[in-house]
Amino acid sequence: MRGKCFCISGKIIATNLFGKRFSKKFIKKRDLKKYGLYLHPAVAVDGIIEQDDKILLIKRKNPPFKGYFAIPGGFVECGETVENAVIREIKEETGLITEIIDLLGVYSSPTRDPRGHVISITYILKVVGGKLKAGDDAKEAEFFDLNALPELAFDHERIIKDYLRWKDGKVLSKM
């Protein structure tokens, strides 16, 4: 049985304990208690991939931050582990097959995404196959020199700074 899910794609979609689906309408706070529903932050994953002192970024095809570069990633689907989600999202957006090296951090500021409260679990990955090609909601996918990054979406500048500290064996930023 699937658990409760919260979707922020313009509508709140929630499932109560009996499997009833409430969609195509906004759920008001008073309805939450009435239907036994709970609002939860959405969970996303991001994947840091570095090769030859360059980091992989995608140019976003859709809002928010349409046209900005970002670390590849996306939302975890119900019933999916975060580890499988990051590997899937990287493949969908970049065409690359990857393996997880390490967990970089969890980024949970309620203001990190203008669509709503999104928690990002960020992993460091290595490429084990595939061919670099933008796909899904990525307009472009390319490696950038770590010292010459474009303007980034969301809090991805902070995430990359944390990655550089991780690389140098230093303590990450305060969560």
Predicted pLDDT of residue 16: 45
**Does the annotation mark 140 as catalytic?**
yes
Rounded distance between C-alpha atoms, residue 57 and residue 71, angstroms: 5
85: Cα within 13 Å, side-chain hemisphere:
18
Residues 31-40: contacts with CB under 8 Å, at least 24 apart: 37/4, 38/4, 38/14, 39/6, 39/12, 39/14, 40/4, 40/5, 40/6
Residue with token string 């590849």: 72
CB 24 within 8 A of CB 68: no
Predicted pLDDT of residue 27: 61
| 94 Cβ contact list (under 8 Å, min separation 6) | 49, 56, 58, 72, 130, 132, 133, 134, 135, 138, 141
CB 148 within 8 A of CB 160: no
The one catalytic residue in 89, 140, 151, 157 is 140
Predicted pLDDT of residue 158: 96
Which residues pair with residue 58 across a beta bridge?
70, 141
Tell me the domain boundaries of the chain. 1-40, 42-168
Query: 84 vs 55, 116, 167, CA distance in Å?
Result: 21, 23, 24
Write out the DSSP string of 102-163: EEEEEE--TTSSTTS-EEEEEEEEEEEEE-----TTEEEEEEEETTS---BSTTHHHHHHHH
Listed residue (67, 64, 82, 56) closest to 144, CA to CA: 56
Q: What is the pLDDT tens value at each position of the chain, 175 positions in all?
A: 334 444 433 344 444 444 455 444 556 667 667 766 667 788 999 999 999 999 999 999 999 999 999 999 999 998 899 999 999 999 999 999 999 999 999 999 989 998 888 999 999 999 999 999 999 999 999 999 999 999 999 999 999 999 999 999 987 666 5
- The CATH code of domain 42-168 reads 3.90.79.10
Distance of CA 75 to the CA centre of its chain: 5
